[in-house]
Chain A
């Protein structure tokens, strides 16, 4: 009974409602999407410029007044030099793989 009654209430409005729902379904999402797209773009651009400002104001100030690269480079250069020395002491030994391979190579080349 109730179903019939609700159906009766919609007589005359059904075409209008269907048409309206079709229109909204086809138009609304694109409009919302476009709005969202521009809003997102503007927000991203705003964040991007804020990051630039932070970099140029704070980080450049730190780089300019408290540079760390010289100390880091010097430390690393010392480390590399000491490791090169260690490698060379190992390679200078008579039983080192480098000496063995080189002597093998020279012996084959000159003795043949």
Chain B
């Protein structure tokens, strides 16, 4: 059981077959991953192939995220991109060392929870969560509109009250 600290993978090539061969060896869901592609010439192609790999193998950001280090800017996709290792969230930057008994017990619990989460893949909760988020956004917009109208009504009522007096 590894400590859930970043595991960095230097992608060797931007070609689809090579990326798939390289990433197939890794067990996702146990540690957060960082794919480094900033040294490659065609980073866009590499990123597209990584996206395909993530989609085909149903790799999600739960329980551990997958980050990409690249120079690509204004990326709008599923993956999280950083331009340098230091920009990645520091929570998972942990030194790997020999664990004591107490730490080992917690790590075993974490391992069980990871397995539990992996078994929950079939629940397909993502569309429900996305819909939940969308409905919350819609509710928020409607509530803002209602607040504006209430404010406007109060001002109009005050205006007519003053006029009548």
Contact = CB atoms under 8 A, between A and B. Distances in A.
Interface of A: 34-35, 38-39, 41-46, 48-50, 52-53, 56-57, 60, 63-64, 67, 69-70, 72-73, 76-77, 79-80, 83-84, 86-87, 90-91, 95-97
A42 B5 CA distance: 10
Interface in B120-165: 120, 123, 125, 128-129, 131-132, 135-136, 138-139, 142-143, 145-146, 149-150, 152-153, 156-157, 159-160, 163
B110 A45 contact: yes
Interface string B20-41: 0000000000000000000000
18 contacts: A34-B95, A38-B95, A38-B97, A42-B110, A46-B113, A49-B113, A52-B62, A52-B117, A57-B123, A60-B123, A60-B128, A69-B132, A72-B139, A80-B142, A80-B145, A83-B146, A83-B150, A96-B156
Contact of B106 (A34, A42, A86): A42
A20 to B, nearest CB: 24
Contacts of B123: 56-57, 60
Interface of B: 3-4, 62-63, 91, 94-95, 97, 99-100, 102-103, 106-107, 109-110, 113-114, 116-117, 120, 123, 125, 128-129, 131-132, 135-136, 138-139, 142-143, 145-146, 149-150, 152-153, 156-157, 159-160, 163
A91 B156 contact: yes
A76 B143 contact: yes
Contacts of A97: 156, 159
Contact of A73 (B4, B132, B135, B152): B135
Given A42-B107, A63-B131, 9 more contacts: A34-B95, A52-B117, A53-B113, A57-B123, A60-B129, A63-B129, A72-B135, A80-B145, A80-B149
Contacts of B143: 76
Contacts of B135: 67, 69-70, 72-73
